Amino acid sequence: MNRVETPIILVNFKTYAEATGENAVRLAEMAEKANVETGVCIGVAPQFSDIAIIAKKVNIPVFAQHIDPIKYGSFTGHILPESVKYAGAVGTLINHSERRLRLADIDAAVARAREVGLVSVVCTNNASVSASAAALKPDMIAVEPPELIGTGIPVSKAKPEVVTSTVEAVRKIDPEVTVLCGAGITSGEDVAAAIKLGTRGVLVASGIVKAKDPYKVMLEFAEAILRAQS
């Protein structure tokens, strides 16, 4: 994959009830509608067993939440990159704070994603880990201070220095790697702040999934991106 130039809102469905099974499909359809409405790219990362049906129904990028650094073979209960690709995923999170991997496995997972043609988004917790991850040449890095995840306290406003130092550290290692940020993002203002700090977009979960009106929040996020760019 070449450098990701378009801004993106990537919605992590986690294992939220509001984003499992039928609910996951509905949420993905909202994301597609918001994409059509605004032109802003909105990706979704549902659970593994929901990927196939969602990828069939919507025309937006679908991501896996994790892949294992494995090939075809004897790996019961693992996530084969080829398998999520076959189901329709175009990319994958790697090393999310709720699914941390060993360094050698992140290296191998990024390489496997590249091999099968999945966009790799390596999640990190600070600037030095982001620099470290950038050396592995993933497509994107999503920095999320774990202590802010799920709090509603936006990283882009509460810890802007984490975002700017990550953007700078990653650029020094490899300017081709795109930076997203996440944790506590709940309003268009938070998203705009993220863009202004030098990121290409946000990784968001509860801020959208657990919102009263997820569609409205998606629109608000997308419009904030459009304004921040202009």
Residues 2 and 193: their CA atoms lie apart, in Å, by: 25
CA distance 147 to 170: 21
Look up 66 and say whether it is catalytic: no
Q: Which is nearer to a second copy, 98 or 223 (CB)?
A: 98
Q: Nearer Cβ to a second copy, position 55 or 193? A: 55
Asked if residue 134 binds a second copy (CB under 8 A), the reply is yes
Tell me which stretch binds a second copy (CB under 8 A): 80-88, 178-186, 187-195, 220-228. Answer: 80-88
What is the rounded CA–CA span in Å between residue 98 and residue 95?
8
Q: List the structure tokens of 27.
A: 């949420």
Q: Does 175 bind a second copy (CB under 8 A)?
A: no
Residue 33 phi, psi (nearest 5): -60, -45
Per-residue CA distances from 91 to 35, 94, 213 (Å): 18, 10, 26
Nearer to a second copy, 90 or 228 (CB): 90
Catalytic residue among 32, 78, 115, 144: 144
The site that binds a second copy (CB under 8 A) totals a number of residues, namely 65
Binding-site member from 57, 150, 157, 164 for a second copy (CB under 8 A): 150
Question: Token match 């949420």: residue?
Answer: 27
Residue 208 touches a second copy, criterion: CB under 8 A: no
Q: Which of 32, 66, 96, 220 is catalytic?
A: 96
Is the Cβ of residue 71 or residue 227 nearer to a second copy in the bound state?
71
> Any contact of residue 90 with a second copy (CB under 8 A)?
no
Q: Does 36 bind a second copy (CB under 8 A)?
A: no
Q: How far is CA 109 from CA 13, 44, 138, in A?
A: 21, 20, 9
Report d(CA 137, CA 114) in Å as an integer. 10
* Alpha-carbon distances, residue 208 vs 18, 183, 202, 214 (angstroms): 10, 12, 12, 5
84 is an interface residue for a second copy by CB under 8 A: yes
Contact present, 187 and 227 (Cβ < 8 Å) = no
Active site residue 144: yes
Catalytic residue list: 96, 144
Residues that bind a second copy (CB under 8 A): 12, 14-17, 20-22, 45, 47-53, 65-66, 70, 72-80, 82-84, 86-87, 93, 95-107, 124-126, 128-129, 131-137, 149-150, 169, 173, 205-206
